[in-house]
Structure 1
Amino acid sequence: MPASTINEVIDALQTIITDSIAASSRVGYFAALYYKVTAAVRDGITKGQFENGPRMEKFDVIFANRYLDALSAWKNKQPMSDSWRVAFETAERSSPLVLQQLLLGMNAHINLDLGIAAVEVSNGNMDGVQKDFDAINTIISALTYQVISEINRVSPLLSLLGLHSSNYSIIIQFSIGNARDGAWCFAEDLLAKQGTAYADCITARDKTIAQLAQGLAHATGLMRITLWLIHVFEWKSPSKIIRELHEYQKEKIVVNTPSAIPA
């Protein structure tokens, strides 16, 4: 069943994390990161940081359900977006870095799912959504240093990526801010479409984002050698890595407060 409240989203993510630790599955990497963001959004709603708290919760739930649905489709071998398929396929491989795994999840969820969720919650009025859409950037920025610190502990030679910063465009071009800006432009374009044109717009976007994912998942040339060296010194236990990425929220999030989305 799809989640209907933000607390249900958090519970679903915790289940994915718990199951991934038990199965030593790299699928839990993105779930642990996503838990952080969702818990922070819930805190922001509680503190009145958004212009429209109930709408923000509805937005968050619609957005999260796209990830939860994609994961369910993957597990049950059902049709799904190409963007998520690349991310989940890569999670079955041990050679990609933790950073690559996280970016692949972010790539599919922000570059494809976020724009679709914005349109679905807008009721045809994107102006009403934009302020709260932008407010999430502040929340994500507040988590950035914490997440980077965790990844650096897991992957102590990650700074070697700087040797290729001038030509590894897939990492240079990808940032949360830029991705969210692109997602907003996609949402505005999608809002103007109806019927077949709406579906075709999503399909075309998915194809583009999946190509970006392939470039991120499969490095070539000297970058491939650098990634291999970083990987040699990276933690090898998926369960241990998931616990590290999730530790902050285990300490901070103790009680789930009741929450519901108005009809």
Structure 2
Amino acid sequence: MNPASIDEVIEKLESILQWSKEHSSRVGYFASLYLRVTQTIKSKLGTGYFDNDERLEKLDIHFAARYFEVVEQFQNNDPAMPKAWAVAFNAITNNELIIVQHLLLGMNPHINIDLGVAAAETSPGVAIHDLHDDFQKVNNILASIIPTVLSELSELSPLLYLLEDIAEKEEEAIINFSMKVARDFAWKLAIELAPLTLPNQQIIIEQKNTGIAQLSEKIIDPGFMGASVLKIINSVEVKNVTQIIDTLNAGNELLELMEQGQDVILDPQALKKAPNQVYYFQIAKGEWTGDFNFKIKSWSKMFGASISFKNKMLLTMMGLFQKIIGNASIKSIITPLPNEGKAGVAKNDFRIHKGWFTLFVSKEDYHLSPNGKAVVVDAHVRFGPFSFLFKEHDVYPAVIYDNGFKALYHIDLLGTQFIGNYTVRSDQKQVHSILENDWAKAEEILNIH
């Protein structure tokens, strides 16, 4: 029996997790991640995030129903399971696969096929085109799955960062699976299926299953070089199924990443009230000075992160220096240029120092997106008093939330996502910032001049 609401979807996913723990089954790996996706989608209902909450909940129900059906087929040893899902479930007992491979084997058929089918069921015929924007918003949430997993599993899989060696680009193409390609494939499939009768839809779905099943086989066996790296990663991974399920299920709700090609454009009046505009052009502008503190929360996670050796040493020196000398001073000058770029640019020149001793200098351009949330940060950074020896240039995306008081940064130089929370005093003359990931925390208290 299919769920009737998103709450019932959540209840069913929780029951699958319980079953997985009782049977020590790796089915719970993907179900844990799926539960977090569903909880994130539910948290956005009623907030104005989606164009049509009722339709979106219907999409979520149809999407989940297809997953629940294959789980029941697996539990009942039903041979009629779709080909791509059969590959995933047949690999459940394969001890040679790493955690991320099991997750990708679930994501592959569910996003490539089930998402497109669910969209066509939700909005058949020409109505499918009205679903496009909300479909993309769901995709923005799905886009955060892989980077979130990579940042959260380092304790269970300390060599997981080696995946970068067999990826075209981390978070996008890992072990022959591209999240962007999968989401684009799903929308094309939805467009193809929407005008068709159910029997004709089924013919196409079965045809697509063959190709997606072949991709699943490549996830299992990516070739000699990839398999060699995966064997090394697997050798030190935690093997306790319940511990892995609990870790995957213990994270915060997923924050959607910026899509570079996102074509949402707010009108000028709405843009003035948008999160990225509010923070950079209203709250943060001006000259700020105050205290800065940086600490490494987990040295093992930091050394296991996908960062160059040089940057690990720089982070080590900064962490040790701050531990010895205490808080440093920071100066930041943010200059808004609302008429530059697509929706304005904000320049930030800042320096972190202890007396005459420079720890960090950065000149940053924040290119604001007309969608009201996204930002592209173009940063030229220098480390230490001999900064000419340690120069870096980094361009990375960010998404601004909660009317400018929360941000998600994906900083390539640091190999991870950082979540920033900003508390602004009522007179807007002081900002308390906390920038944090699973292995480091930076804290600033800034006062405007």
Taking structure 1 as the reference length, the TM-score comes to 0.88
Alpha carbons of structure 1 residues 234 and 161: separation in structure 2 relative to 1, 3 Å: same
Measure the CA separation in 1 of the matches of 2:75 and 2:175. 32
Change in 2 beyond 3 A, CA 1:98/1:143? closer
Contact 1:170 1:216 in 2 (8 A): no
Residues 1:113 and 2:126 aligned together: no
> Higher strand fraction: Structure 1 or Structure 2?
2
1:152 is paired with a residue whose SS is coil
Q: Which amino acid aligns with 2:229?
A: T
Aligned length: 250
Letter in 2 for 1:83: A
Aligned to 2:129: 127
Contact 1:112 / 1:205 at 8 angstroms: preserved in 2?
Answer: yes
Greater share of residues in helix: 1
Whole-Å separation in 1 of the counterparts to 2:20 and 2:176: 30
Superposed displacement of residue 177, structure 1: 2.8
Residue 66 in structure 1 maps to residue 66 in structure 2: yes
Residues 134-167 of structure 1 show CA distances to partners (whole Å, capped at 9, x for unaligned) of: 1113333456543322222221101212223359
Instruction: Give how far 1:24 is off.
Output: 1.5
Mapped partners of 1:28, 1:81: distance in 2: 19
Greater CA radius of gyration, 1 or 2?
A: 2
The 8 Å contact of residues 99 and 151 in structure 1, kept in 2 or not, is answered as no
Deviation at 1:92, TM superposition (A): 1.7
Q: Deviations over 1:35-80 (max 9, x none)?
A: 0000000111132211000110000000000000011011112211
1:236 aligns with 2:227: no
Give distance in 1, aligned partners of 2:165 and 2:117. 36
Change (3 A) 1:170 1:87: farther
**Runs of 5+ in structure 1 lacking a partner?**
251-263
Match in the other structure for 1:88: 89
Measured in 2, the distance between the counterparts of 1:63 and 1:228 equals 33
Q: For 2:168 and 2:56, locate their aligned partners in 1 and report how far apart those are by CA, in whole Å.
A: 38
Greater RCO, 1 or 2 (C-alpha within 8 Å, sep 6+): 1
Q: Does residue 1:35 correspond to 2:40, yes or no?
A: no
| Structure 1 Cα separation of the partners of residues 56 and 122 of structure 2 | 9
Aligned CA distance change for structure 1 residues 81 and 170 (closer, same or farther; 3 Å): farther
Deviation at 1:200, TM superposition (A): 1.4
* Equivalence map 1:131-142=2 (5 Å): 131-141=133-143
Pair 1:101-2:90 in alignment? no
- What residue in structure 1 maps to residue 25 of structure 2? 25
Identity across aligned pairs (percent)?
37
When structure 1 is superposed on structure 2, of 217-226 and 206-215 the one drifting more is 217-226
How far did 1:88 drift?
Answer: 0.8
Q: Is contact 1:111–1:182 with CA below 8 Å preserved after alignment?
A: yes
